[in-house]
Amino acid sequence: MAARIRGVLSAVGRLKRASTAWVARGVQTVGCTVCFQNVESPLLDSARVGVLSMAILVVIVLGTFGAWFRRLGQLEQEHQATAGSGMVQPRPGDPPPNHQSPRGYGQ
């Protein structure tokens, strides 16, 4: 236990020395207006507008795909109705397919 504590303290010492040397070098100290939570900053206002613009685009694109999915479902139903679904029936003696349950498969 004592050895571990000594090890930790030694590591802390090394880290302190390394940190001092690093800061003294005077590099990579960054000051950024956004990082200081300036909620009135025009940068934040513009970020909100940017997020909003993307959200509007996404809703339009997703809406289009949603409508297309719906159309695909309708087309499949129409095809089944007109072409007898193209489905192969189970062989004699096989159980009926479960999916034909009116409440849907597996429920």
Partner 1 sequence: MRVFSTDHKVIGVQYAVTAMVFLLIGFALMLVMRWQLAYPFQPVPLIGGLFGRDNAPGGVISPEFYNQLGAMHGTIMIFLGVVPLAVGGFGNYLIPLQIGASDMAFPRLNRLSYWLYASAGVVMLASFFVPGGAPDAGWTSYPPLSVITPVTGQTMWLIGMLLLATSAMFGSVNTIVTIIQLRAPGLTFMRLPFFIWAQLVTAFLLLLAFPPLEAAGLMQLMDRVLDTSFFLPSGLVVGNRPLAVAGEGNPLLWQHLFWFLAHPEVYVLILPAFGIVAEVLSANIRKPLWGYRLMVHSAVFLGFVSMLVWAHHMFLTGMGTTMSAFFQTTTMIVSIPSVIILSALFVSLYGGSIRFTTPNLFALAFLPMFGLGGLTGLPLGLAATDIPLHDTYYVIGHFHYVVAPGTLFALFAGVYHWFPKVTGRQMNDGLGRLHFWGSLIAMNVIFFPMFIQGLAGLNRRLADGGITYSWGQTLQHWNVVQGWAAWALGVVQVLFLVNLFVSWRRGRRAPDNPWEATTLEWQTSSPPRRHNFATAPAIARGPYEYSMPGAAADFSPQAVVVPAVAGIDERGTHPRIPFIADVRPDTRTNNVRLGMWLFIASEVMLFGGLFSAYVLLRTGGAHWGHEADFLSIGGGLGYAAILLIATLLLRSGNRRGLALAAVAGLVFLGLKAAGYTALIQQGVVPATSTFAALYYLLTAVHALHVLGGVLAFGHFAFHGTSATGGDQRRFDNVIQALRRYWYFVDLAWLLVFAAFYLL
Could you say whether residue 92 binds partner 1 (CB under 8 A)?
no
One residue of 6, 20, 49, 67 binding partner 1 per CB under 8 A:
49
Q: What burial letters (b/e) apply to 23-57, b meaning 16+ CB within 10 Å?
A: eeeeeeeeeeeeeeeeeeeeeeeeeeeeeeeeeee
Half-sphere exposure at residue 8, Cβ-oriented, CA atoms within 13 angstroms: 4
First to last CA, the chain: 60
Shortest Å, Cβ 2 to partner 1 = 14
x/- track of binding to partner 1 for residues 6-45 (CB under 8 A)? -xx--xx-xxx-xx------xxxxxxxxxx-xxx--xxxx
Compute, in degrees rounded to 10, the torsion defined by CA atoms 73, 74, 76, 79. Answer: 180
Q: Measured from the CB of residue 102, what is the shortest distance to partner 1 in angstroms?
A: 12
Would you tell me which residues interact with partner 1 (CB under 8 A)? 7-8, 11-12, 14-16, 18-19, 26-35, 37-39, 42-55, 57-59, 61-62, 64-66, 69, 72-73, 75-76, 78-80, 83, 85-91, 93-95, 97-99, 104-107
